[in-house]
């Protein structure tokens, strides 16, 4: 097991991926080993450390930290100040070092937008329209904004913003 010696992260990743026991040892700085389950997509989903935020947390030297950040440092090295650890798999429980990538907050936002993971459209908890309804609004060129607003239970301003592609921009 990795205890801070000179084993390279890639060799350690291969070694863990082929092991029957799905755990990463604590290096004496944490009170319990990190256990994980392998998924079909190759993720190592942390099963031993749970948190309401969705990101597994661990206590290291008296401070609470995300398990994926701890695993990144263990396998790949220090995290420079101002940098974050991104998941290439979009699985917040994943701690597979091969799925963890150093980046900026801007990189993470760009990932979210490109992968359509943001709270947009029907994924926004405050949405009042469905994507199908938005398509109907966009295709309707004869009904007034006021009538469309009444029909769909929104304001005329919402209808105008949809028609001008200021809202629901990705729907065509």
Are both 58 and 106 inside the same structural domain? yes
Taking residues 33-53, report their average pLDDT. Answer: 89
pTM over the 0.75 mark: no
Are both 110 and 128 inside the same structural domain? no
In a domain, 171, yes or no: no
In the chain, the number of structural domains is: 2
Indicate the residue among 95, 114, 133 that finishes a domain: 114
Question: Please, are residues 117 and 90 in contact by the beta-carbon 8 Å criterion?
Answer: yes
Cα gap 96→122, rounded to integer Å = 30
Question: Of the candidates 159, 135, 163, 162, which has an alpha carbon nearest to the alpha carbon of residue 146?
Answer: 159
Record the tokens describing residue 49, joined without a space: 């450390």
Question: Of the candidates 115, 117, 83, which has an alpha carbon nearest to the alpha carbon of residue 101?
Answer: 83
Cα gap 136→68, rounded to integer Å = 43
Which pLDDT belongs to residue 144?
A: 95
Provide the residue range defining the domain that includes 37: 9-114
Residue 21 has pLDDT above 90, yes or no: no
Are both 52 and 110 inside the same structural domain? yes
Are both 60 and 100 inside the same structural domain? yes
Question: Please, are residues 98 and 130 in contact by the beta-carbon 8 Å criterion?
Answer: no
Record the tokens describing residue 51, joined without a space: 């948190």
> CA 97 from chain center: how many Å?
15
Are both 104 and 154 inside the same structural domain? no
Banded model confidence at residue 44, pLDDT cuts 50, 70, 90? very high
In a domain, 3, yes or no: no
Are both 96 and 153 inside the same structural domain? no
The DSSP-derived string for 93-157 is TB--GGGEEEE-HHHHHHHHHHTT-SS-GGGSTT--S-HHHHHHHHH--SS-HHHHHHHHTS-HH
Domain CATH number, residue 66: 3.90.75
Greater confidence, 55 or 81? Answer: 81
Cβ count near 105 (within 10 Å): 11
Are both 147 and 85 inside the same structural domain? no
Question: Please, are residues 70 and 58 in contact by the beta-carbon 8 Å criterion?
Answer: yes
Question: Of the candidates 92, 125, 121, 86, which has an alpha carbon nearest to the alpha carbon of residue 106?
Answer: 86
Digit-coded pLDDT (tens) for 98-153: 999 999 999 988 888 787 776 666 666 677 888 899 899 999 999 999 999 999 99
Which DSSP category does 32 fall into? S
Report percent pLDDT > 70 for the chain.
77
In a domain, 90, yes or no: yes
Which pLDDT belongs to residue 119?
A: 61
Which pLDDT belongs to residue 66?
A: 92
């Amino acid at each position: 097991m990795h205890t801070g010696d000179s084993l390279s992260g890639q060799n350690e990743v291969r070694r863990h991926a082929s092991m029957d026991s799905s755990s990463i040892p604590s290096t004496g700085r944490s009170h319990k080993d990190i256990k994980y389950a392998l998924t079909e997509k190759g993720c190592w989903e942390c099963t031993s450390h749970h948190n309401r935020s969705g990101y597994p947390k661990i206590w290291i030297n008296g401070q609470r930290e995300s398990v994926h950040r701890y695993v990144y440092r263990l396998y790949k090295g220090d995290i420079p100040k101002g940098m974050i650890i991104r998941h290439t798999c979009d699985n917040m429980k994943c701690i597979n070092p091969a799925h963890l990538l150093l980046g900026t907050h801007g990189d993470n936002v760009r990932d979210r937008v490109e992968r359509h993971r943001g709270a947009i459209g029907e994924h926004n908890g405050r949405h009042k329209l469905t994507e199908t309804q938005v398509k109907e609004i966009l295709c309707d060129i004869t009904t007034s904004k006021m009538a469309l607003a009444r029909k769909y239970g929104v304001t005329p301003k919402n209808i105008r913003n949809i028609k001008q592609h200021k809202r629901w921009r990705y729907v065509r």
